[in-house]
Amino acid sequence: MDKDKALASVNEIKELMEKSSKFVSFSGLAAIMAGIYSLAGSFIVAKVLSPGLTLQEITVTALVVLGASIVTAFVLSYYKAKKIEQKFFSKLTYRTLWSFALPLLVGGLLCLSLILHKSYGLTSSIMLLFYGLSLVNTSKYTYSNFAWLGYGFLLIGIVDCFFIGHGLLFWTIGFGGLHLLYGIWFYVHYERKSNR
C-alpha cells in the first residue's frame, strides 16, 4: 500500500513539473481538424477549382485552411489549458509559439519571394520542410513526439523536391494525412485516457 502511495506521489510530482516546464495544452483534436481542413482544401483545389485554376485561388484556399487551423488550435488548446489548470497566457506559451512561428515565417517569406519571381516548382516542398522544422523546433517546449511528426513532414518535403509538379499530392499527404494520423494517435494515447 505504501509503495502504491509513493508511486502515486511521484507521478503527481512528475505531472506538476511537466505542467510548469512544458506546454501540454495541445489538443489532438486540433491536429485532426487541421488534417480535415487540409484534405477539404486539397479537394477544392483539385476538383472544384481545377478548370481555369489561378494562383490567387490557390493562395486564398491555402490561407483559409491555415487560418481555420490556427483558430481551431488556439480555441482547443485554450480550453484544454483551463481543463488541466495550466495557465495559457504565460512565458512558456509565448516561447512555444515563437519557436513554432520563426521557421514558418522564414519559410513563408521564402515561398512569397519564389511566387513573386514566378518560380512555383519548390513552393510546396518549402512549405512542408519549414513546417517540419517548426514542429521539431517546438518539441523541446511541448510533447517530445512533436519531433516525429516534424520528421515526417521533412521526409515528405524532401521527396517532394524530386517530383516537381506533384506538389498538391505531397501537400495533401503531409498536411492532410500526417495531421490526421498524428491527431488520432495523440488523442487516443493522451487525451482519451485522461477523459475516462
Helices (H), the chain: 2-21, 28-43, 55-83, 91-116, 123-138, 146-161, 167-171, 179-186, 192-195
The whole-number pLDDT of residue 16 equals: 47
User: How many alpha carbons lie under 13 Å from residue 10 in its C-beta half-sphere?
Assistant: 6
**Nearest CA among 172, 23, 147 for reference residue 96:** 23
Are 42 and 166 a contacting pair, CB within 8 Å? no
> Could you tell me the residue ranges of all domains in the chain?
27-195
- pLDDT at residue 10, as a whole number: 52
Give the SS3 label for residue 54: coil
pLDDT (tens, 9 = 90+) of the chain, 196 residues, equals 466 665 555 555 555 444 455 777 888 999 999 999 999 999 998 887 777 778 788 888 888 999 999 999 999 988 888 887 777 778 888 888 899 999 999 999 999 899 889 888 889 999 999 999 999 999 998 888 999 999 999 999 999 999 988 989 999 999 999 999 999 999 998 877 665 5
Q: 76: how many CB neighbours lie within 10 A of its CB?
A: 19
Query: Cα–Cα–Cα angle for 82, 88, 91, nearest 5°?
Result: 155
Nearest to 161 by CA among 115, 122, 131: 122
